[in-house]
Amino acid sequence: MPRLLLLAAIAVVLYILFKRAQAAPPHKRRGEYIKLGLGIAVVGVILLALAGKMHWIGVALTGALVALRSLAPTLIRLSPMLAAKFGQAQGATGAGQSSTVATAILRMQLDHDSGDLSGEVLQGRYEGWRLQDMDRTQLEELLAYCRQEDVDSVQLLESYLQQRFPGETEFDAKQPPPEDQSGMTRKEALAILGLDETASEEDVIQAHRKLMQKIHPDRGGNDYLAAKINQAKDLLLG
């Protein structure tokens, strides 16, 4: 009986992990399935060891593999070569190569060179999902949720939708761009322009000019993002 209870408990835990992996955002599912596979392997090794059918060396090797998998992200960060590459990939914002605009529901990045938008959902049913991994139906559900919860998120998501589905108007909520900049902080303004705390007035002006060339409404850009970029410049220049 105790053995059956143990097996039942293990089965329940593995089922929960499987459902968790299925529910994870697409770009995180591979990692979740790897964790599930490792969990199954560990359980199998433990059961074999308890039954006396596996040598202790096998148990030790399995434990070492699991530990290595858990420590892999840390080891990568500590590796000078990989850390340098990682820093180059992630340092775009600090180097003025991308801008970040965040609302209660979304975080959006604008690539300065291409003008392409990408984003991540911060809350709600699709929390943790990347917008590029969502299909049209899912994006429409997200837009409906934004309309219920946060006006700024609606306008930010529409910026992405207008770029991803050019020429289509059914996503337009007909809401005006923001006029009040009192809620914007210096940190947010710097992120919007893709700058850091060392930026000079000339850096602000150049970043603003470059972004407006990409996103200005007269060039097919978006009113909301253009307004946010203007607000960021005005705040930083005082």
On average, the pLDDT of the chain sits at 74
- The pLDDT tens digits for 20-44 are 776 777 766 677 777 777 777 777 7
- The pLDDT tens digits for 181-209 are 457 888 888 888 888 888 889 988 988 88
Query: Which has the closest alpha carbon to 178: 212, 218, 228?
Result: 228
Q: pTM value?
A: 0.54
Question: Which pLDDT belongs to residue 142?
Answer: 92
* Residue entry with tokens 């589905």: 165
- The pLDDT tens digits for 166-180 are 776 565 444 444 444
Q: DSSP assignment of 196-215, as one string?
A: -TT--HHHHHHHHHHHHHHH
Q: Rounded CA gap, 14 and 102, in Å?
A: 36
On whether the CB atoms of residues 192 and 99 are closer than 8 A, the answer is yes
Q: Rounded CA gap, 132 and 199, in Å?
A: 31
Q: Rounded CA gap, 59 and 40, in Å?
A: 14
Bridge partners (DSSP) of residue 109 are 100, 118
